[in-house]
Structure 1
């Protein structure tokens, strides 16, 4: 009986031990470039500083870095082949491509993809 009590005591005390290799989290500021790029690639319009501050819980928004990332994301998303594929998938036209210089041409490519998608779905 004494042996069981000692074993339980040892087990309960070892469960309260602090691991010396755990680290305190390192809070860094948001990756504003990445946030802008992600917004553009998801088809989201440019967010204002208040929305960004609320989303990332950080009042110090680096607007220029966000816009630089947004422009980089637009380069990847706002191209005819990619937009055509969005139309084929039945996705709506991305708002991030509304402001690019060839928006009308992109909208036509997207519409062509949507039309092909609708035609294919009627055949199935």
Structure 2
């Protein structure tokens, strides 16, 4: 379990090493989507990238799905909530959506308890 958590943490750090804007400037739209998805951010549309040329929304969507698949692992949801990261509902419709949401909520509640003490 600790190994899985460490791998998840490393994946999140790697995703954050370059920002989505860095990937967009480089034209790597799959990486932009993955970066958004693995951080649990809502799916963007082509209009959200009006400042960039040559937007490939299909590559973005493909990367986003890969990122969301990693993010929506219910085994990591508690830690996401505990870290104070808001859940934007990106896991709805996935097989483990309810379990993810419950674990995230438990972590979120615990993070607020610790902050108020």
TM-score range, shorter chain: 0.5 to 0.7
CA contact (8 A) 1:39 1:45 kept: yes
Partner residue of 1:78? Answer: 72
- Which of 31, 36, 41 is the matching residue for 2:33? 36
TM-score (norm 2): 0.66
Corresponding residue for 1:7?
Answer: none
User: Unmatched 5+ residue regions in structure 2?
Assistant: 1-24
Shift of 1:46: 1.1
Corresponding position of 2:15: none
TM-score, normalised to structure 1, is 0.63
Larger Rg computed on CA atoms:
1
- Give the whole-Å Cα distance in 1 for the aligned partners of 2:83 and 2:63: 25
How does 1:57-76 map onto structure 2 within 5 Å?
57-58=52-53, 60-76=54-70
How far did residue 68 of structure 1 move? 0.9
- In structure 1, stretches of 5+ residues that fail to align are 1-27
CA contact (8 A) 1:37 1:69 kept: yes
- Where is the helix percentage greater, Structure 1 or Structure 2? 2
Q: Confirm or deny: 8 A CA contact 1:80 1:109 kept in the other structure.
A: yes
Q: Is the 8 A contact 2:37 2:65 kept in 1?
A: yes
User: After TM superposition, what 4+ stretches of structure 1 lie above 4 angstroms from structure 2?
Assistant: none
Q: How far 1:95 moved relative to its partner?
A: 3.7
